[in-house]
Amino acid sequence: MSTLFASNPQFIALQRLVSETLEQDIATLLHHANLPSSLFEACTYALSDGKRVRPLLVASAWLTVKNNPNSNPSSNIETRTSFSSDPQTDTDTTTIATINSLPSSVRRAMLAVECLHAYSLIHDDLPCMDDDDLRRGKPTCHVKFGEATALLAGDVLQTLAFEVLTFEMLTADLPTFEPIDDALSQRLHTTFAPRARRMVAGQMRDLLAENQSVSQTELETIHRDKTGALIEASVLMGGICGDASLTNLSKLEQFGASIGLAFQVQDDVLDVTADTETLGKRAGSDDKLAKSTYVTLLGVENAKQYAEGLFAEATDALATTFHSQSMLEQLASWLWQRKF
């Protein structure tokens, strides 16, 4: 897997823009939600920090589609843009415009996937699930706020994930968001909802597989849902916001499916090769819970090779349709190099 684009200034600029935009939009969303103070604090806590991988996937997919010739069937997309003013260093496009904001539809999709992800982590860490006390280098939500508040924080973040994609939410009272078109809202919901369901089903299968001997095929079935479904949704929702054609959405779906599985294989490897300080969560937790993992099934080196092959498979899915060195390709390279 090439590491050529991981430190590209365009990708660094996108990371910064996504992080800053999401931080502001999370604050706006939670204030607008009118939650009791304890619930507001728990949700704010759960949504702080993190790698922001899923919102980055939304924005990267949107930009990849937006800057690709003939990738969308209509012409109602804004002027093509990039993060570079030097044509020689441009990768996503040859234009010289610079992005300094993301469209409301992309911001809504970013909020949706990050809220759903945060909900899943809160519930995953509960004593009745994985019983973890450390997340992102801090006490987990239930340790900080108590189990009841953590449970309800997860519940409300799940509902907000869907509400933020509706016309009524973040429109009338919040001028920083443009109204979302009903047809676009429906497309985003019909992409997001079944993959949210798959994520929960995958979590159940993951619990059932503890202390069990499972095949690689069975393990992939678990993780294509538990981890991969939301990653796949993030890529597709970004493509939909960019008005991608059905053909190109199919390529994005292939990319998302491969990246999602690669991400989980990589997590399994890092659980045994990285330390707690680097990970921000307890190293070796999979072994403690007798989880079925790619490391226990394949060994560390074979699992690494398998992950590398999946990353290559993901970028190959883009090769015939999108620009070389697209933002999604740069994101894949960054993920391949991650240490936590």
CA distance 292 to 61: 31
Scanning 33-169, the segments in alpha helix (DSSP H) are 37-46, 53-66, 104-125, 141-145, 147-163
Find the radius of gyration of the CA atoms of the chain: 19
Hey, what are 324's tokens?
């070389």
Residue 210's identity, in one-letter code, is E
Whole-number Å distance between alpha carbons of 169 and 1: 41
pTM metric for this prediction: 0.88
| 138: β partners | 135
Nearest one of 72, 121, 64 to 247, comparing CA atoms? 72
For residue 93, how many other CB atoms are within 10 A of its CB?
A: 21
Domain borders along the chain are: 9-336
- The residues facing 98 across adjacent strands are 82
Query: How far is the C-alpha of 143 from the C-alpha of 66, rounded, in Å?
Result: 43
Nearest to 93 by CA among 211, 10, 29: 10
- Whether 237 contacts 192, CB under 8 Å: yes
User: What is the model's pLDDT at position 174?
Assistant: 62
pLDDT at 179: 82
Return the pLDDT at 288.
62
- Cα-to-chain-centroid distance, residue 328: 12
Helix or strand (DSSP H, E) at 234: helix 228-241
Give the pLDDT confidence score for residue 190 in this predicted structure: 97
CATH 1.10.600.10 fits domain 9-336: yes
Q: Could you report the average pLDDT of every consecutive run of 10 residues in the chain (340 residues)?
A: 58 93 94 94 95 96 84 44 36 46 94 98 94 91 97 97 80 70 94 98 92 91 96 98 95 96 92 76 65 88 93 92 87 84
d(CA 95, CA 223): 39
